[in-house]
Amino acid sequence: MATTLGDNALALSTVQKWAAEFKRGRENLEDDLRGGRPATATTQENNDRIHHIVMDERRLTVNQMANTVSISRERIENILHKELEMSKVSARWVPRLLTSDQKYTRLVMSEVNLTLFEVDPVSFLERFFAQDECWIYHFEPETKWQSTQWKRPSSPAPKKAKVVSSAGKVMASVFWDANGIKIHFNL
């Protein structure tokens, strides 16, 4: 064999091992399945487990998921980004989350005001006396990093409403008309 195959010849011990295997009844050359840790952690089972974990709690970190599933951070990141096509993004801040009825009411009022403005633009603005108020809170709001969560490219960006705290707040109110601010006070 060494003369015919040269450097590609099998070692004598390997030939003896395979000869013994065939004498015991082995009929194929494929390796037997071995127990223990799989060659890769990117399996359909792990993909499903990670997907289920993320859908239950979108704010988990990669380290928290790795500890839960007992596979490496790198495998978790590979599953999230390449297999599940997810990325972690911050929620977009909006002043308030309105109901459908509130949105419809604002639409109707805006259309009425636009019609009045088109009839007489100058006197339209002079007729209004407006007031606005805002609660100013004395607490530490959630940071942008704390609000990040996992999402797919096709799903909409998460939103969060302005945080309402029951204590530690002051209300600022402002009144004005077309000529400017009339009165400003805090309660």
Shared-domain flag, residues 70 and 155: no
Supply the pLDDT for residue 103. Answer: 92
Statement to judge: residues 169 and 100 lie in one domain: yes
Domain termination residue (choose one: 25, 54, 85): 85
Query: Quick one: 48 and 99 in the same domain?
Result: no
Residues 6+ positions from 170 with CB-CB distance below 8 Å:
135, 136, 138, 186, 187
pLDDT computed for residue 115 by the predictor: 93
Domain boundary among 85, 115, 138: 85
Measuring CA to CA, how many Å separate 108 from each of 79, 124, 185?
A: 47, 17, 31
Do 78 and 128 fall within a single domain?
no
Same domain, 178 and 101: yes
* Dihedral pair phi/psi, residue 74, rounded to 5°: -60, -40
> Which residues partner with 92 through β-bridges?
159
Q: Is residue 61 part of a domain?
A: yes
Point out the domain boundary residue: 66, 85, 104: 85
d(CA 46, CA 53): 10
Kind of pairing between the strands at 129-137 and 149-151? unpaired
* 61 and 102 both lie in a single domain: no
Give pLDDT < 70 ranges for the chain.
34-40, 139-141, 162-167, 184-187
Q: Say if residues 173 and 184 touch (Cβ distance below 8 Å).
A: yes
Assess if residue 30 is contained within a domain. Answer: no
Shared-domain flag, residues 137 and 110: yes
Work out how many domains the chain is built from and give that number. 2
Print the domain residue range for 51: 40-85
> Which among 187, 179, 58 is positioned nearest to 129, based on CA atoms?
179
Same domain, 122 and 74: no
